């Protein structure tokens, strides 16, 4: 049996689509058991429903505070039988107590070369800083926003004609290769959380893996 995976997404769901496509190509042996969202209108929910994956939409406005919402959401995720959790464009900060049981089993994709530009508007901030390169990171989720150990990154050069929109658009195809590649490592247990940090093939992962031009990680 394949590892059971839940996905949380707040938006259109192109990263979810990339995960499903990788699975369909036989490159990502996992079972998607739930796609959840804080937005009932998220494109990701529609994609999941079309793919026959159970969906869950919870509206934070129906809960008195963040912790109550997150405890309910994470209880529902646990009830789905998920062993791993992927944040694929999930745009909410998660309460530290709710996420604690998932540390080491939950990854997030963030559109910057972490530790640069945690939080929002990463493309704009990279341009404003005059950076020569930009990229995306997949990291383990800890209570520190966008601050958990980085597993892997995809890099690209910033070009003269880039504005915020173009940069985001050019980065997206790299995100779509990076996220399935990292989930594959986690699902195969080549990548594991041991004690208080990530290990790859049993060795502490001290520097982030870099996605190669061929769209693969060096560990694959």
Q: Which residues bind ligand GRF (CB under 6 A)?
A: 9, 11-15, 88-89, 109-111, 136, 175
- Give the shortest CB-203-to-ligand GRF separation in angstroms: 28
Tell me the C-alpha distance between 108 and 132, whole Å: 24
Tell me the C-alpha distance between 191 and 185, whole Å: 5
- Give the shortest CB-122-to-ligand GRF separation in angstroms: 8
Under a CB-based contact definition with an 8 Å cutoff, are residues 184 and 211 in contact?
A: no
Exposed/middle/buried for residue 100 (C-beta within 10 Å: 0-12, 13-18, 19+): exposed
Nearer residue to ligand GRF within complex by CB, 82 or 178 = 178
Nearer residue to ligand GRF within complex by CB, 11 or 78 = 11
Selected catalytic residue, list 2, 110, 121, 139: 110
Is 110 marked active-site?
Answer: yes
Total residues found in the chain within this entry: 220
- Give the shortest CB-15-to-ligand GRF separation in angstroms: 3
- Give the shortest CB-136-to-ligand GRF separation in angstroms: 6
Nearer residue to ligand GRF within complex by CB, 105 or 176 = 176
Tell me the C-alpha distance between 59 and 57, whole Å: 7
Nearer residue to ligand GRF within complex by CB, 75 or 145 = 145
CA Rg, the chain, in Å? 17
Give the Å distances, CA to CA, from 132 to 5, 10, 127, 159, 162.
36, 30, 9, 8, 11
> Which residue sits closest to ligand GRF, CB atoms considered?
89
Residues with catalytic roles: 110
């Amino acid at each position: 049996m394949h590892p059971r995976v839940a996905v949380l997404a707040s938006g259109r769901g192109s990263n979810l689509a990339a995960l499903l496509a990788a699975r369909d190509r036989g490159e990502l042996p996992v079972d998607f058991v739930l796609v959840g969202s804080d937005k009932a209108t998220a494109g990701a929910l529609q994609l999941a429903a079309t793919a026959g994956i159970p969906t869950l939409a919870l509206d934070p406005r129906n809960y008195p505070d963040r912790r109550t919402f997150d405890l309910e959401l994470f209880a529902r995720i646990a009830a789905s039988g998920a062993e791993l959790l992927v944040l694929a464009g999930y745009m909410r900060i998660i309460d530290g107590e709710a996420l604690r049981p998932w540390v080491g089993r939950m990854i997030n994709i963030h559109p910057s070369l972490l530790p640069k530009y945690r939080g929002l508007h990463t493309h704009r901030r990279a341009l404003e800083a005059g950076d020569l390169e930009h990229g995306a990171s997949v990291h383990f989720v800890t209570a520190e926003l966008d601050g958990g150990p980085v597993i892997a990154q995809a890099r690209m050069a910033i070009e003269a004609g880039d504005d915020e929109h173009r940069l985001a658009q050019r980065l997206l195809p790299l995100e779509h290769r990076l996220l399935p590649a990292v989930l594959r490592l986690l699902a195969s247990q080549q990548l594991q959380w041991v004690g208080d940090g990530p290990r790859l093939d049993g060795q502490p992962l001290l520097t982030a893996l870099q996605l190669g031009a061929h769209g693969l990680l060096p560990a694959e």
